[in-house]
Amino acid sequence: MQRVPGVRVEEAVEEAAIPAVDRPVVWWIAMALLFAALAVPLLAAQVPPLSDYPNHLARCYVLAFADSDPVLGRMFSTHWQIIPNIAMDLILPPLINVFSPFTAGRIALSLCLFMPVSGAIALSCAYFRRRSLWHLTPGFAAFNSLFLMGFMNFEIAIGIAMWGAAAWIRYREQSPWAAIASGLVVAPLVFFFHLTGFFFYALLVGCYELFAILDGGLRQRDALIKSVKRASLAAVPFLAPACLYLSSPLNKLSSAPIWGSRSTRAWSLLIPFLDYSLVFDLLVIAPVIGFLAWCVITARVQVSRPGLLAASILALGFLVLPVSIKSVWWVNTRMIVMLGFLVFAVFIPRGLGSRQRAIFEFVFAILLLAKIAFITGVWIHSQQDVRDVRQVIAPVEAGHRVLDVQVLKNDNPAWFDAMPIGRRIPHLNPTFWHLASFVLLDRRAFWPSIFANDTQQPIRVREPYTESLGTGAAPPDYQLLGSSQMSADEAERFPFLSHWDQKFDYVLLLNAEGAGNLDQIFPDKLELLDHRGIAALYRIRK
């Protein structure tokens, strides 16, 4: 029997006890049905309620047409540089040149949804060298909170990282140079797609190589020399991305780390499986986690040692890393999302009877379909908000400037708690923050929250629009429009609010139902033009 590094011999002997699929066709049909089911929400909603997604779409629309559209060209210029966060900037603009922006966006979203799930499946197959219907379970992490927050670059990068690690593990022993060649392609790709994906790929490959070296022994001189050669070869694909990082603007950026509260970190444990309803998500995922825990306790599970080490490092990273560092947010949370996918790849049940397997497979399939049906319903209902925003902004002229503001929970707690479920991810972010992106997508107008940070995006804002540019964060509280003096934090986050009535032409109020009498919002400065559901548009009185 050929020994697979990282898998114990006694575990390999018990291969027959693992619930593998007898006929490959059954496994392939199950996988096809899984991805068909995951695609249903994307087919049902033209613009899903994902927090950052409209902003990514608008920026890529600029990249596609700024050089040829005179209106966009007055506002933006392209600025390509070494940025380890540009997956969508590379993928979406070519698609937008072929399809409509919303069709192109859904194609890109399908990649962000499918790549991590299929990557976890490929990684598990590489670890255990067999197929199992347990491979359906990464689908429970597909619609994780960071996907719903629109972290598209991150999602597709970790998916490619798992695919790349699977290829490395599968071919490293029988064809080392093929594995190195694949690494030379994957490592730079995931580096540019997202830096976290590069870290994930290096972690998975490094853990595999470590156990391969340990299994080969280090006591004999020949074995030690062989191990040094193996480690040196394994490092080759990572040298160029490491040098690129040292030359990137992100390396030169410095900012104090921000640490979240203990309660926030506790809630983050649910992020791999949390979407729009905490109660519903717990009911869905609890049986799956409970089954896995039962398998571990009763020794009905096989574990990949390299995968377990990688999972442990991710768990440690979640505990010790800050929420934000170098202006990159949700750093520790990204660790727990990667762990959420990895946990389904590094464990595989074994020693179950055929009846037990059938029961668990049926229950998990029903739970997964219920989760997908729930998300589909939320996405369909959320399209009314999209229609309302697009109708309200119809009077906006091309090239004009629109100030987006919002009604916060502190302004109207009762309304915030009662608003449609698709407008927020529990204990995390609202999903409507970037709906103002439609002023660019539909009207070719400017709004301050566009993602145009020099260190993280390949576009720059031209004068005189720079005076109206924000940080790409959440829209400000609409009540700040009447504030004569902002706090230091507010002034830093919203520099465009100084003399806002002279810089902008319109104000777009989001979550408008919570604002009360819309006609009476700063009537000396604002004229209400239209109000539909979530959105209200005002013309600034000059």
What pLDDT was estimated at residue 5?
A: 57
pLDDT at residue 302 greater than cutoff 60? yes
Strand duo 328-329 + 459-461: pairing: unpaired
State the Cα–Cα distance between residues 233 and 189, nearest whole angstrom. Answer: 19
State the Cα–Cα distance between residues 138 and 347, nearest whole angstrom. Answer: 12
What pLDDT was estimated at residue 373?
A: 98
123 touches 307 (CB < 8 A): yes
Look at 178-192, 434-448, 454-468 and tell me which has the smallest mean pLDDT. 454-468
What pLDDT was estimated at residue 20?
A: 56
> Where is pLDDT greater, at 21 or 261?
261
State the Cα–Cα distance between residues 61 and 65, nearest whole angstrom. Answer: 6
**C-alpha dist (Å) from residue 465 to 19, 73, 134:** 61, 12, 53
Q: Over the stretch 511-529, which tens digit does the pLDDT of each residue have?
A: 999 998 999 999 999 999 9
> DSSP labels for 104-146?
HHHHHHHHHHHHHHHHHHHHHHHHHSS--GGGGGGGGGTT-HH
What pLDDT was estimated at residue 17?
A: 42
What pLDDT was estimated at residue 264?
A: 74
Q: Over the stretch 496-514, which tens digit does the pLDDT of each residue have?
A: 999 999 999 999 999 999 9
Look at 12-26, 255-269, 429-443, 450-464 and tell me which has the smallest mean pLDDT. 12-26
463 touches 416 (CB < 8 A): no
What pLDDT was estimated at residue 68?
A: 93
What pLDDT was estimated at residue 206?
A: 97
Amino acid at 218: L
Which residues, including other chains, have CB under 8 Å from residue 243's CB and lie 6 or more apart?
A: none
**C-alpha dist (Å) from residue 398 to 314, 393, 500, 541:** 47, 11, 19, 19
> Where is pLDDT greater, at 221 or 345?
345
What pLDDT was estimated at residue 345?
A: 96
Half-sphere exposure for 100 (CA within 13 Å, toward CB): 7
| Confidence band for 409, pLDDT divided at 50, 70 and 90 | confident
As a whole-number percent, the residues of the chain with pLDDT over 70 amount to 96
Residue 505, number of CB atoms within 10 A of its CB: 18
| Confidence band for 106, pLDDT divided at 50, 70 and 90 | very high
| Confidence band for 250, pLDDT divided at 50, 70 and 90 | confident
The structure tokens listed for 213 are: 């070296």
The strand pairing partners of 430, in sequence order, are 424
Provide the terminal-to-terminal Cα distance of the chain, rounded to the nearest Å. Answer: 82
pLDDT at residue 391 greater than cutoff 50? yes
276 touches 378 (CB < 8 A): yes
Half-sphere exposure for 366 (CA within 13 Å, toward CB): 8
411-419 mean pLDDT: 85
As a whole-number percent, the residues of the chain with pLDDT over 90 amount to 78
Average pLDDT taken over every residue of the chain: 91
State the Cα–Cα distance between residues 507 and 392, nearest whole angstrom. Answer: 11
The structure tokens listed for 229 are: 């050669």
The structure tokens listed for 465 are: 């629009």
Q: Provide the greatest CA pair distance for the chain.
A: 85
State the Cα–Cα distance between residues 140 and 283, nearest whole angstrom. Answer: 12
Q: Considering just the CA atoms, what is the radius of gyration of the chain in Å?
A: 25
| Strand, coil or helix: 474 | coil
152-159 mean pLDDT: 98
Residue 27, number of CB atoms within 10 A of its CB: 20
State the Cα–Cα distance between residues 524 and 26, nearest whole angstrom. Answer: 68
Look at 9-23, 206-220, 364-378 and tell me which has the smallest mean pLDDT. 9-23
What pLDDT was estimated at residue 13?
A: 35
pLDDT at residue 18 greater than cutoff 60? no
How many helices and strands in the chain, by DSSP H and E?
A: 21, 10
447 touches 402 (CB < 8 A): yes
The structure tokens listed for 468 are: 């109206």
What pLDDT was estimated at residue 481?
A: 94
233 touches 212 (CB < 8 A): no
pLDDT at residue 257 greater than cutoff 90? no
What pLDDT was estimated at residue 21?
A: 60
Burial (CB < 10 A; 0-12, 13-18, 19+), residue 351, is middle
289-312 mean pLDDT: 95
pLDDT at residue 12 greater than cutoff 50? no
> Where is pLDDT greater, at 130 or 120?
120
pLDDT at residue 14 greater than cutoff 60? no
What pLDDT was estimated at residue 224?
A: 87
What pLDDT was estimated at residue 449?
A: 93
Look at 256-260, 316-320, 503-507, 524-528 and tell me which has the smallest mean pLDDT. 256-260
What pLDDT was estimated at residue 11?
A: 42
The structure tokens listed for 259 are: 């640490």
Q: Find where tokens 């409509």 sit.
A: 100
The structure tokens listed for 401 are: 């400037």
Q: Over the stretch 233-246, which tens digit does the pLDDT of each residue have?
A: 999 999 999 999 99
Q: Where are the alpha helices (H) located in 172-261, listed in sequence order?
A: 176-193, 195-216, 221-247, 249-252
